[in-house]
Amino acid sequence: MSSEIWVIIMTKVILPQSGVAFNLKKGQRLKVIDPCGQQVSDLVLFNRHQPGEKLSAGKTFDFEESLLITKGNRLWSNFSRVLATIIEDTNGRNDFLLAPCSPETFEIMYGVSDYHPSCFENLVKSLATHGIGPEEIPTAFNIFMNVQFALDGSIAVRPPTSAAGDYLCIRAEQDLIVGMTACSAEDSNNGSFKPIHYQIG
């Protein structure tokens, strides 16, 4: 953990293939932990006082001048303001290109016609209690997700490189509404579904 001193006031578990939403005050830290290894967590952020302001992959890529977002980078909003700063990242590989998996993902890409849990559905359910509708959910910051991209522009989802106990920690730079999942896509998690732990302090 960083040299910054913080007191953990809450530790919780996101069950496999599920999601949560909660408030995070400006200055608080959120530590996202992969307790078993190779498990992705989708993260979305909204300004609590102006929910139309939300996490933006495009603005983050612009202002951080990188496709690989990790320790020291900031997560920017669609209003060109910093929502959070990544202060620790023990794994170092995350994705900000791919949208949360959805029922359509499994139908179009995998030919699944039966019900399949998805990150988008879990974010919709969790964020509804905060008055955020499905049309407001942006591309997520996919913590621990290993998306490789080639010079020709092709992309491939590979198993996460995170080991048991790896974590990423952000500091809120605004009062936030946070949505998080334990990802439901087989390919993103090397074929199995595991919990995500998180701490607030």
How far the first Cα of the chain sits from its last, in Å, is 13
- Tens of pLDDT, residue by residue over 38-48, are 999 999 999 99
Mean pLDDT of the chain: 96
**Looking at residue 4, what is its pLDDT?**
57
pLDDT digits (tens, 9 = 90+) for 68-127: 999 999 999 999 999 999 999 999 999 999 999 999 999 999 899 899 999 999 999 999
pLDDT tens digits, residue range 169-185?
999 999 999 999 999 99
pLDDT at 5: 67
> What local confidence, expressed as pLDDT, does residue 11 receive?
87
DSSP sequence for 68-87: S--TT-EEEBTTS-EEEEEE
